[in-house]
Each structure stands twice: as C-alpha cells, then as structure tokens.
C-alpha cells in the first residue's frame, strides 16, 4: 500500500526527470511528428495552407522519382568505400600506433587532423586539386609523364563519385582510428603474452585475440561509419554540386533539392522519413549480424 | 526540498524570459539582403539618408543567398520578417509570399503623382515585380517589389584571346555556326571555348531557353508548357542537339558540368577560356578578379533567323516591404529615395550593376552600356504567362548535363522529359478532379 510520502517521492522523481523528458519531446518527438505530418501534405514552405495529400508523396518517391534510388546507391557506394578503405586504413594505423613506436603521439595527432578540418574547406581544396585546367593532380600527372591519365576528375561520371568517396574516407578515417586505438588499448596485454607462450605467431594473435575482442568496437565504428557516410553531403556538394547526371547525388542533396529548388517541403519530409527508416533498418541488421558473430 | 522547487521554477522562468527576448535594434527601418558586393554602398546610402531625413536605416547582410533564403522562410513562420527584404527565386516563390500576406502592395504608391515612381523604372524591371489580374498563381493583382537594379545574361568574349587565335576581336560570332567555327579555331591554338557555371543548372536552362525562343518563338514554348506540344518535337530535339554539338566539337571548357559560376568567372577572368555565358553582374566580378581583362559583350549566337532571340533579363534585385511591419510608411519612403536618380547613379558606379532607374544610365561604364542596349530583347520565366513544372525543368536541365557528358542522346533526353511532363500533367488532372 502506497503511503502519502511514497507518492510524493515518486512525483518528486518525475519532476526531476521532467526537464530531460521535455527536451526530448520538444527537440525529438515533436519534430519527428511534424516531419511525418508534413510528409502527408503538399506545402511550399511559406503558405499557411498545407494541403493534405495522403500517401501520394511516398507513392511518388517509390514509384516515379527517377533520381531518388540512384542517389541511395551513390551514398551506398561511398559508404562501401568508407567501410572498407577508410576503416582498413584506420585499423592498420591504430595497430601501428598501439605498439610502442617512435613519435607515436605525434602520429596520433597528425591522423586526427583531417576530421577536425571544415568539410567545406576540405571539399574546396580537393576540388581545386582535382580541377581539370589548373589542378595540382593533372599538373603532376603531366610532370611525371602520365599524360594519358589526365582527365576532368570531378566532371566525369566514371570518376567523380569515386574521387568524392576517397576524399570522404581520407577526411573520416581519423574518427575510426581514435576509437579503434582506444579499443586496442583496453585489451589485456597478458592475453597476448599467453598466446605467445602457447606458440601463436603475430597473425594468429591478431586473428584469435585482437579480432574477437574488438568486435564490439568494430560494430560501433561501422555503425558510426554507415550513419555518418549515408548522410554525408557537404563534400558531395562542394566538390561536384551533387548532380545526378554526374552520378554524384546522395539522398541529402535530393532532399535539399526538393526543399530549395522545387519548393516541395512535404515531399522532402517524405524523403527524409524514408531515408531515416532505411538507416534504422541497416543499423538493426548490422547489430544482429554482429551479435551472431560475437556468439560464434 | 522547497528551495529546490523555487530554484527549478525560477530557472524555467529565467530560461523562458531569455528565449523570448529577440535582438534589439535602434534603427527605424531594418533591411535584410544577401548582396555581399553591395554592402559598403548600402551602408553609405543608409548614412546619407540618416543625414538627410533623420530616419535610421540598417542593412543586415545574410550570405550566401541559400542561407538568406532559408532565413527569410524561417522568419515568415516565426513572424520576424524585417521592414524590407528581398525574395530570391522564381515568380512562384514570390507569389507564395504575396498570397501569405507578407508583402505590401505598392500599386497605389507607384501610381501616385501620375505614376512618378513607376515611370522611373525600366518596364521589364517592374513587370517582374507585378502580378496581373487573373495570374496563374492566383496572387492578388498589384506591384509588390521595387527593383534596385536590372540585369541580363549574355555572352562575353576575350579580345586578346581572339587576336591570338587570328579572329577579329571587333567582329564576334553572330550565329551558331560562326560561334562553333570560332571555338574550333581557338581550340587549335590551345584556348578553351565557352565557360559557364553549368553545375548551377538554371544557367543551362537559361541558354537552352534563349535557343528555344530563337528556334520556335514564345507561342510554341508556352504551348509546350501547357502540354500541347511534346518535348520530342523536332524543335526541342534541335535545342538539345545544340549542346551536343558544342560538346562534340569540344568547345566547352573542361569540367563545365561540375563548375559553379564563381569558378567559371575565375576561368574567364584569368583568360583560360575565350567565351563566357554570364550576367551583367559579371562586370563587377571581373573587375575585381582581373582589372586588365580585355573583353566585350556579344549577343547570344543565333541559331535561326526566323524568331527574335530573347535573352533572360529584367529586375536584378528587388526589395519588398513587409506588409505587417509597423514601419511600412518609413520603409516605402526609403525605397522611393533609394531608387531616385542620384542614389541609383551612386549604386551603379560603386557596384557596376545596371541601375533600375532609366535616368541613371548616362553615368554607367561602356561595357555596362552594351548590356543595357539589349534590355529590350530580354525576357524572363517570371513574366511568362505559363510556367513549367519544377520536376520537368529538373529532368530537362539534368538531361542537358548528361548530353554534354555524353551519357545520353538528345532523343533520349527528349523522351525522358516528355514522360515526366505527361506524368506531372496526369497528377495535376487527378488533383483537380479530387478537389472538384
């Protein structure tokens, strides 16, 4: 039986979590509700009238939007490069810095410089390097006698997306490096010693000690990579303008295009919701797969 | 415990009080704009106006233009629009603001004293700011904006590079064939032909529209927008083919499809390309980038002798008065003063833009004069009686990019645009039916 004081105590507890609940409701639940609500309407962003159109925005997105699904594929391609190239680079550098090497702290600092640089600045600098007329890359290719490789790197559908993906990986590998290095440093050194005593070589120690213990960290890094890369757009915009004809559009540039160029805020909200759901599904699948891997 | 309650309540009140306090300012009239290059000139004029009238005016710059647009849209929702602001975008954007009651109808002010204010302006500059009775946006008729400058988009050519290629710098190409021939000659001596910011697809749309007006005339273009002529019509395929011809003859600058206009301007100013497709605002830009650039203006090369080639132009930048402003009378008075002869002449001189006030034309530079001479041949989507759907425009412009990149043929693009057009027409029909 509840006494008066226990009810009071419960109310007090609720009162203390009220600010957090209010902030969550105001900044997360309400915007999500509004986005979903707008996804069911035709709205230009200014008019007081928001015409209810049911699921027609979603229907158009799934059945008729010829640029949306290619943009998902483009983001997927950049993510694939990030998951492989970027994280492989991050892991190998983290393994190197985990050992007692000379200037280890200096390297840690250097590897973390690209992530802290402004994405717009990085995009513009690399755009200048890739510039077909006076860019550094083509200049050096000519100097080295590799004239046949000179091309308009960011103006060709064959190379533009790959260039963006590589620069994205260069820009982002520092985050993975720091997290993976932190993970490596939590592994008890005695386990390596024990494996060495049992006759394990360095590859076997890596495969049977490091990898299993690092799985939770790999999962974290890959989820962060997927979520971060699928939503990347600043580099895409600054380097290529995000043009679908160049094969460089990504979902966020399409959402921006719907809002800014076409003034279809309702449609943009529908795109945002579908994009969010896809990211959620990908994250759930990844968590389940990693759990199974861990159990195995 | 009781003290904790008091602290919590006081914190909430203080927090809410803090949130409710907007930025305070002492100026009588606040103006939001996006024109970075005009900031010092605007500030000088505001100072002069204060000296003359005692009314303080503050120009607040929000750049780049995308940020400005977002800020204005957010302000409409929050009810924090300034006394004077500009609307960037197409006429439909403008109509949305008018219909939502954010913009003051200036028709009476313009017509007062036998139309003294209205008569100052180029008619084409004013028409962009006007909604006629029965307009397709259902906006209430009236004049809603005050043009502060005018512009048009033409071709520029580099006289020094022309000489280098053995071309006559005083006789630029007049038609498309001559243009292609000049481009080939330039290429032979290692000079790139045309540069433009075609990553910004509206610029592709602009040149395509120039060609279309010349090839088929306004009536057929409007019939296409109404859905009466398909995009697979031979004239439209010819428009697409002109871009293919330029790409095939290699007279377009390398990387043109991913080039924004600022980069294109840099390429032309640094003499890396002989032709540029750009607006009259470029005079100021080139002056800043390369004051010694020896260039001139030429009309867009004609592709047909049948119809008049029309170029895009009209009001460059316009200001609107917030209909809900408490200071709207002061705002209107300031705009009247700003568009007066001396102020317009000062703006033209300081910013190298074409003045909206016709009487100030005598004081502009020779190159701007050449731009001004073509004002009578200008048109603009904002004054057309019918407008194309944004999805169709996007497919059209991106299709031209694909043609330039060689990934699609003119026929393929025409077919794709036609399909999107038919789908959009169907959607509109269904929507009309469901409303009825």
Q: What pLDDT is stored for residue B21 in this prediction?
A: 46
Question: Domain range spanning residue A274?
Answer: 67-295
Instruction: Report the candidate in A161, A155, A167, A154 with the shortest Cα–Cα distance to residue A76.
Output: A161
Query: Cα torsion for A228, A231, A234, A238, to the nearest 10°?
Result: 120
- The answer to whether the beta carbons of residues A21 and A237 sit under 8 Å apart is no
Phi and psi of A8, rounded to 5°?
-60, -40
**Number of domain units in chain A:** 1
Q: A-chain residues within 8 Å CB-CB of B416?
A: 66
pLDDT-derived band at B22, boundaries 50, 70, 90: very low
Residue at A210 is within a domain: yes
- The answer to whether the beta carbons of residues A135 and A129 sit under 8 Å apart is yes
- The answer to whether the beta carbons of residues A229 and A75 sit under 8 Å apart is yes
Which long-range CB contacts under 8 A does B382-386 form with residues at least 24 apart?
A: B382/B90, B382/B91, B382/B94, B382/B128, B382/B314, B383/B91, B383/B124, B383/B127, B383/B128, B383/B314, B384/B218, B384/B222, B384/B225, B385/B136, B385/B222, B386/B136, B386/B222, B386/B225, B386/B226
The verdict on a CB contact (< 8 Å) between A245 and B199 is: no
A145: CATH: 1.10.3720.10
The verdict on a CB contact (< 8 Å) between A44 and B96 is: yes
| Chain A with chain B: Cβ pairs closer than 8 A | 90
SS3 B302: strand
The verdict on a CB contact (< 8 Å) between A245 and B93 is: no
Residue of A nearest to B190 (CA): A133
Determine how β-strand B142-143 pairs with β-strand B130-131: antiparallel
Q: pLDDT tens-digit profile of B146-195?
A: 999 999 999 999 999 999 999 999 999 999 999 999 999 999 999 999 99
Chain A: closest CA distance from residue B366 (Å): 31
Q: pLDDT tens-digit profile of B233-276?
A: 999 999 999 999 999 999 999 989 988 888 899 999 999 999 99
* Cα B348 versus chain centre, distance: 18
Give residues with Cβ within 8 angstroms of B122, minimum separation 6: B147, B150, B356, B358, B375
Residue at A93 is within a domain: yes
The verdict on a CB contact (< 8 Å) between A132 and B254 is: yes
Determine how β-strand B295-298 pairs with β-strand B57-61: unpaired
Residue at A52 is within a domain: no
pLDDT at B363 over 70: yes
Q: B-chain residues within 8 Å CB-CB of A265?
A: none
The verdict on a CB contact (< 8 Å) between B390 and A263 is: yes
The verdict on a CB contact (< 8 Å) between A152 and B8 is: no
Residue at A72 is within a domain: yes
Residue at A284 is within a domain: yes
Give the number of other CB atoms < 10 A from CB of residue B220.
Answer: 18
Residue at A40 is within a domain: no
The mean pLDDT of B35-63, rounded to a whole number, is: 93
Residue of B nearest to A257 (CA): B394
Residue of B nearest to A239 (CA): B258
SS3 B155: strand
Residue at A115 is within a domain: yes
- Please, what are the domains in chain B? 23-151+314-376 (3.40.190.10), 152-312+386-431 (3.40.190.10)
CA-angle at B178, arms to B172 and B180, nearest 5° = 110
Residue at A222 is within a domain: yes
Distance CA A85, CA A87 (A): 6
Give residues with Cβ within 8 angstroms of B32, minimum separation 6: B60, B62, B68, B71, B72, B81, B82, B84, B85, B86
The verdict on a CB contact (< 8 Å) between A47 and B391 is: no
Q: B-chain residues within 8 Å CB-CB of A261?
A: 390, 394
Task: Choose from A253-257, B275-279, B371-375 the range with maximum mean pLDDT.
Answer: B275-279
Residue of B nearest to A53 (CA): B431
Q: At what angle do helices B328-338 and B39-53 cross, to 10 degrees?
A: 110
The tokens for A2 are: 């509840």
Chain A positions touching chain B (beta carbons under 8 Å): 12, 15, 44-48, 64, 66-67, 131-134, 152, 154-157, 160, 239-241, 243-246, 257, 260-264
Residue of A nearest to B273 (CA): A133
Please report, in tens digits, the pLDDT of each residue of chain A (296 residues total): 557 788 888 888 899 999 999 999 999 999 999 999 999 998 888 788 888 988 989 999 999 898 999 999 999 999 999 999 999 999 999 998 887 777 778 888 888 888 889 999 999 999 999 988 888 999 999 999 998 999 889 989 999 999 999 999 999 999 999 999 999 999 999 999 999 999 999 899 999 999 999 988 998 899 899 989 998 999 999 999 888 998 999 999 999 989 877 788 999 999 999 999 999 898 888 888 877 776 76
SS3 A101: coil
Q: pLDDT tens-digit profile of B118-131?
A: 999 988 889 889 99
């Amino acid at each position: 039986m509840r006494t008066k004081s226990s009810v009071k105590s419960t109310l007090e507890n609720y009162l203390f979590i009220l600010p957090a609940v209010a902030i969550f409701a105001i900044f997360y639940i309400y915007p999500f509700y509004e986005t979903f609500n707008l996804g069911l309407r035709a709205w230009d962003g200014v008019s007081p009238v928001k015409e209810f159109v049911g699921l027609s925005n979603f229907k158009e997105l799934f059945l008729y939007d010829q640029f949306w699904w290619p943009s998902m594929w483009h983001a997927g391609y950049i993510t694939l490069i990030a998951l492989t190239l970027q994280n492989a680079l991050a892991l190998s550098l983290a393994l190197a810095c985990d050992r007692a090497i000379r200037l280890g702290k200096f390297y840690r600092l250097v590897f973390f410089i690209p992530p802290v640089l402004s994405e717009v600045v990085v995009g513009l600098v690399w755009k200048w390097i890739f510039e077909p007329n006076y860019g550094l890359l083509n200049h050096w290719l000519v100097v080295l006698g590799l004239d046949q490789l000179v091309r308009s790197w960011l103006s060709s559908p064959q190379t533009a997306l790959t260039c963006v993906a590589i620069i994205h990986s260069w820009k982002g590998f520092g985050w993975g490096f720091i997290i993976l290095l932190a993970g490596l440093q939590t592994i008890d050194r005695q386990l390596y010693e024990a494996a060495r005593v049992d006759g394990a070589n360095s590859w076997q120690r890596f495969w049977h000690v490091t990898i299993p213990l690092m799985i939770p960290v790999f999962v974290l890094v890959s989820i962060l990579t997927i979520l971060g890369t699928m939503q990347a757009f600043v580099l895409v915009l600054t380097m290529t303008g995000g043009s679908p004809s160049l094969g460089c559009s990504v979902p966020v540039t399409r959402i921006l295009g719907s809002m800014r160029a076409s003034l279809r805020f309702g449609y943009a909200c529908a795109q945002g919701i579908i994009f969010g759901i896809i990211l959620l599904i990908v994250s759930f699948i990844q968590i389940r797969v990693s759990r199974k891997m861990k159990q195995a | 415990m009781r003290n904790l309650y008091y602290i919590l309540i006081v914190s909430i009140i203080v927090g809410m009080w803090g949130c409710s306090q907007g930025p305070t300012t002492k100026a009588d009239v606040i103006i939001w704009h996006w024109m970075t290059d005009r900031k010092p000139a605007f500030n000088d004029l505001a100072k002069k106006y204060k000296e003359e009238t005692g009314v303080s005016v503050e120009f607040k710059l929000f750049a780049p233009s995308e940020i400005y647009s977002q800020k204005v849209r957010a302000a409409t929702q929050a009810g924090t629009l300034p006394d004077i602001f500009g609307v960037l975008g197409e006429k439909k954007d403008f109509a949305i603001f008018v219909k939502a009651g954010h913009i003051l109808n200036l028709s009476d002010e313009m017509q007062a004293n036998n139309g003294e204010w209205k008569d100052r302006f180029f008619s084409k500059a004013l028409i962009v700011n006007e909604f006629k009775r029965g307009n397709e946006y259902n906006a209430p008729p009236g004049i809603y904006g005050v043009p502060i400058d005018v512009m048009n988009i033409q071709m520029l050519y580099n006289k020094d590079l022309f000489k280098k290629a053995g071309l006559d710098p005083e006789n630029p190409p007049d038609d498309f064939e001559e243009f292609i021939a000049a481009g080939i000659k330039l290429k032979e001596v290692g000079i790139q032909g045309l540069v433009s910011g075609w990553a910004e697809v509206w610029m592709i749309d602009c040149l395509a529209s120039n060609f279309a007006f010349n090839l088929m005339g306004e009536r057929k273009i409007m019939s296409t927008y109404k859905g009466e002529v398909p995009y697979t019509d031979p004239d439209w395929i010819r428009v697409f083919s002109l871009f293919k011809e330029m790409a095939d003859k290699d007279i377009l600058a390398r990387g043109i499809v991913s080039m924004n206009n600022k980069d294109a301007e840099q390429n032309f100013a640094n003499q890396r390309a002989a032709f540029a497709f750009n607006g009259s605002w470029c005079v100021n830009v080139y002056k800043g980038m390369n004051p010694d650039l020896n260039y001139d203006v030429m009309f867009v090369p004609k592709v047909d002798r049948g119809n008049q080639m029309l170029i895009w132009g009209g009001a460059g930048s316009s200001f609107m008065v917030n209909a809900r402003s408490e200071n709207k009378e002061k705002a209107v008075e300031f705009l009247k003063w700003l568009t007066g002869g001396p102020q317009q002449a000062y703006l033209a001189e300081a910013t190298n833009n074409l003045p909206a006030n016709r009487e100030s034309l005598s004081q502009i530079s020779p190159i701007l004069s050449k731009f001004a001479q073509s004002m009578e041949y200008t048109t603009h989507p904002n004054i057309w009686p019918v407008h194309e759907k944004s999805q169709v425009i996007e497919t059209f412009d991106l299709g031209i990019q694909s043609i330039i990149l060689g990934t699609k043929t003119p026929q393929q693009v025409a077919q794709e645009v036609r399909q999107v057009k038919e789908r959009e027409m169907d959607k509109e029909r269904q929507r009309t039916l469901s409303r009825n």
